[in-house]
Amino acid sequence: MATTIAGGLQTVGSAIKSAAVDDKKAADITRDTVAVKHGKFITTDHGVPVHNTDNWLRVVDGHHSGPSLLEDQIAREKIHRFDHERIPERVVHARGTGAFGNFRLTESAADVTSAGVLTDTSRTTPVFVRFSTVQGSRGSADTVRDVRGFAVKFYTDEGNWDIVGNNIPVFFIQDSIKFPDFVHAVKPEPHNEVPQGQTAHNNFWDFAFLHSEATHMFMWAMSDRAIPRSFRMMQGFGVNTFSLVNKEGQRHFVKFHFIPQLGVHSLVWDEALKLAGQDPDFHRKDLMEAIDNGAYPKWDFAIQTIPEERQDDFEFDILDATKIWPEDLVPLRVIGELELNRNIDEFFPQTEQVAFCTSHVVPGIDFSDDPLLQGRNFSYFDTQISRLGINWEELPINRPVCPVMNHNRDGAMRHRITKGTVNYWPNRLEACPPANIEQGGFRSYPQRIAGIKDRALSPKFKEHHNQAQLFYNSLSDHEKAHVAKALSFELDHCDDPIVYKRMTMRLAEIDLPLAQQVATMVGAPTPEKAGKQNHGKKAKGLSQLDFAPKSPTIASRRIAIIIADGFDPVAFAGMKGVITTAGALPFVIGTRRQPIFADGEDTSSSSGVIPDHQYDGMRSTMFDATFIPGGSSVMALAKIGEIRHWIAESFGHLKAIGATGEAVGLVRQVLADVDLHFATTTSDGTVESYGVVTSAGPYKPESFKEGFQILKDST
């Protein structure tokens, strides 16, 4: 029930939109949620109603405004609160967006773990997920080429469990002591704080060369994985090797996977670059829009497990985070489903203050000696103290849904009040004792350890090329072409010759033809010999094409319908209906945002279609497809350069373009010119369009013209 408080804010049970009744986290957060209400008064932070917040208290004499008075406690409070609004942004993954949802287990994994969240199929576990980019700061663009963070907080009945993952299954370094060097090298350079939101600079590639362990990861980062179409269409990986421990105390090593049910899809590079300027919030808005429209993104949750005794059976070290466990060797087992279904109510207290820790595990889940994970377990807790203060786990978004009780006390901004006379253990009252294992107490896996203390890694960590080759070999031809282009773009932005020359040599250790292509484009000497022979092996699950959805769908895709006065109302309404029925989102784009009238419609009446946008407020990059209905409107559209560009650009970005009636002619005419716009002349004089593929093979302008002619003759 809503409780009114002085000052116009209300605690709102209803503020949590569409929260499932059994969503414990939604119910928990409601305790701290208020809504701005009309008809209620502003108060100070100490609750006193205020009658004027527009004028500072000052001396006035009727003619002049005199000095402002320091005694104005109302103005002082307002300014002081404002002065302290910012907290440090995350040192990495500063740019992000989050949403709530839940996790349902479809199959019990009781054979490998005792964790309730992974064994009890009757449970629905609330989650909060934060997606992010890595390099850029909080205000940077969404569509930059970068790894994406995929951090999941499971609010389980036994405490919070965090999988702080990425959309790429491996990492740049093997030992977490290298993390500060890596982050310094990837972030904007120290002398000029350039560049923002990208790795296309000397320091990153210098680091990449000097750490051959980064090779596998940078190949992923140069692939289309680093320019996702949507957060909803990318995989999530726990990356590190964790452990699962079952009731019998047996241990399996485990890797966690999230597989998007919509498939894995990417932007094309030109689109990503343009969107970074045209709509820097593209991914953030995409996630919110999908959830608001009920197109809840879903991922299959899968595990890969290796029994402890098989730890040494692989040519790579299974604790090395620069390596995947190829699916052919260690199959994926789908055991659950993650769904996001509720947007946040306010960004700062939820998405900004959420704090993840790899060290947050629950009984039945444990760590491994993965040297990257061990350092992460230290780092995340530490960084939250500097971002949020020591009592960060009390914040509404971070607190668990199960009881929290212990003898930790005090610290800045302590929120909770614990009654009782003792705050230590053991105590004479036996108050708040530790739980034994049968009572659910977390027990670290009793692992036998022996060794020499040294700063070193096991020998298998020294191999850095096999899986980089495996990844590249497993890509389709056009994915490979995109990798070559991405490397050429990045190294072209490095102006220190040692950087791009050495990197080209490194590429010759992956694939000689790739290195040769890149060398040509970046001005390095063309390597003649492979630094290492490519072993030619491939594996499944590495190309994005392996993740096509079970049945193709346009659900949640954004489709532009372009109209002007005189449009064909039947085609317009028909297509709009079909798009909506298929679960996609139609957006009407008009020549103006005032009513647009159909063919024959009475323009003096108050009817007409009010477009969602006018053409110059939007760009083709913001939509997945475009439809133009016929009608006399097409004459007007044909005269607008931006509309012609829209069609041509959509074509260049490989998007579906639909047209009926007169609009077919417009599309044809524009695409005939596109031969010139989008064709690239290669060194041997052949003309090819960039990246366009038809079922008949790569698109060639001549074949397009032929097809065009056939189409023309047949109509």
Choice from 133, 166, 504, 534 touching ligand HDE (CB under 6 A):
166
Nearer to ligand HDE, 30 or 166 (CB): 166
Per-residue string for binding with ligand HDE, 99-138, x by CB under 6 A?
-------------------------------x-x------
Residue 17 CA to residue 29 CA, distance in Å, equals: 12
Nearer to ligand HDE, 255 or 655 (CB): 255
CB of 377 to ligand HDE, least distance (A): 9
Residue 499 CA to residue 503 CA, distance in Å, equals: 6
Contact 546, 471 (CB under 8 A): no
Per-residue string for binding with ligand HDE, 317-346, x by CB under 6 A?
----x-------------------------
Q: Quick check: 356 binds ligand HDE (CB under 6 A)?
A: yes
CB of 358 to ligand HDE, least distance (A): 8
Contact 236, 292 (CB under 8 A): no
Stretch of 107-115, 166-174, 322-330, 635-643 contacting ligand HDE, by CB under 6 A: 166-174
Rg (CA), the chain: 29
Q: Quick check: 171 binds ligand HDE (CB under 6 A)?
A: yes
Contact 154, 400 (CB under 8 A): no
Nearer to ligand HDE, 75 or 134 (CB): 134
Stretch of 165-173, 588-596, 611-619, 681-689 contacting ligand HDE, by CB under 6 A: 165-173
Choice from 179, 572, 597, 623 touching ligand HDE (CB under 6 A):
179
Choice from 57, 91, 521, 539 touching ligand HDE (CB under 6 A):
91
Q: What tokens does 583 get?
A: 């679960």
Strands 333-343 and 34-36: unpaired
Residue type, position 245, single letter: V
Q: Quick check: 379 binds ligand HDE (CB under 6 A)?
A: yes
Stretch of 89-97, 221-229, 297-305, 537-545 contacting ligand HDE, by CB under 6 A: 89-97
Residue 643 CA to residue 223 CA, distance in Å, equals: 31
Catalytic residue list contains 38? no
Q: Quick check: 220 binds ligand HDE (CB under 6 A)?
A: no
CB of 138 to ligand HDE, least distance (A): 12
Stretch of 87-95, 454-462, 486-494, 528-536 contacting ligand HDE, by CB under 6 A: 87-95
Active-site annotation holder among 102, 160, 166, 341:
166
Angstrom CA distances, 164 to 76, 150, 151, 152, 670, stand at: 41, 6, 4, 6, 47
- Torsion angle of alpha carbons 371, 375, 376, 381, nearest 10°? 160
Stretch of 61-69, 375-383, 428-436, 494-502 contacting ligand HDE, by CB under 6 A: 375-383
Angstrom CA distances, 32 to 29, 44, 277, 659, stand at: 6, 18, 37, 51
Choice from 7, 16, 90, 230 touching ligand HDE (CB under 6 A):
90
Nearer to ligand HDE, 134 or 584 (CB): 134
Residue 644 CA to residue 224 CA, distance in Å, equals: 28
Catalytic residue list contains 293? no
Phi/psi at 560 (5° precision): -90, 135
User: Which residues, 6+ apart, have CB-to-CB distance to 284 below 8 Å?
Assistant: 97, 142
CB of 130 to ligand HDE, least distance (A): 4
Residue 418 CA to residue 429 CA, distance in Å, equals: 15
Stretch of 45-53, 91-99, 489-497, 554-562 contacting ligand HDE, by CB under 6 A: 91-99
Nearer to ligand HDE, 93 or 557 (CB): 93
Q: Which of residues 223-282 bind ligand HDE (CB under 6 A)?
A: 239-240
Nearer to ligand HDE, 268 or 388 (CB): 388
Nearer to ligand HDE, 273 or 357 (CB): 357
Q: Quick check: 284 binds ligand HDE (CB under 6 A)?
A: no
Residue 269 CA to residue 292 CA, distance in Å, equals: 28
Q: How many residues bind ligand HDE (CB under 6 A)?
A: 27
CB of 149 to ligand HDE, least distance (A): 3
Q: What tokens does 137 get?
A: 């700061």
Q: Quick check: 92 binds ligand HDE (CB under 6 A)?
A: yes
Q: Quick check: 383 binds ligand HDE (CB under 6 A)?
A: yes
Which residue has 């896996």 as its token pair? 445
Q: Quick check: 96 binds ligand HDE (CB under 6 A)?
A: yes
Residue 77 CA to residue 306 CA, distance in Å, equals: 58
Give the three-class secondary structure for 708.
helix
Residue 573 CA to residue 559 CA, distance in Å, equals: 14
Residue 571 CA to residue 466 CA, distance in Å, equals: 54
Phi/psi at 640 (5° precision): -95, 115
Q: What tokens does 633 get?
A: 């409107």
Phi/psi at 314 (5° precision): -115, 155
Nearer to ligand HDE, 171 or 209 (CB): 171
Choice from 112, 234, 372, 508 touching ligand HDE (CB under 6 A):
372
Stretch of 37-45, 119-127, 173-181, 282-290 contacting ligand HDE, by CB under 6 A: 173-181
CB of 325 to ligand HDE, least distance (A): 15
Give the three-class secondary structure for 592.
coil
Residue 181 CA to residue 163 CA, distance in Å, equals: 24
Nearer to ligand HDE, 19 or 354 (CB): 354
DSSP calls for 435-489:
P-GGGT--------------S---GGGG--SHHHHHHHHHS-HHHHHHHHHHHHH
Residue 346 CA to residue 351 CA, distance in Å, equals: 8
Give the three-class secondary structure for 200.
coil
Residue 527 CA to residue 300 CA, distance in Å, equals: 43
Residue 399 CA to residue 421 CA, distance in Å, equals: 24
Stretch of 53-61, 158-166, 359-367, 633-641 contacting ligand HDE, by CB under 6 A: 158-166
Nearer to ligand HDE, 149 or 611 (CB): 149
CB of 212 to ligand HDE, least distance (A): 17
Q: Buried b vs exposed e over 626-641: b needs ≥16 C-beta within 10 Å?
A: bbbbbbbbbebbbeee
CB of 151 to ligand HDE, least distance (A): 4
Q: What tokens does 120 get?
A: 């009890």
Per-residue string for binding with ligand HDE, 612-641, x by CB under 6 A?
------------------------------
Nearer to ligand HDE, 164 or 692 (CB): 164
Q: What tokens does 585 get?
A: 């989102």
Q: Which residue is nearest to ligand HDE (CB)?
A: 149
Catalytic annotation, residues:
93, 166
Residues near ligand HDE (CB under 6 A): 90-93, 96, 130, 132, 149, 151, 164-166, 171, 173, 176, 179, 239-240, 321, 355-356, 372, 375-376, 379-380, 383
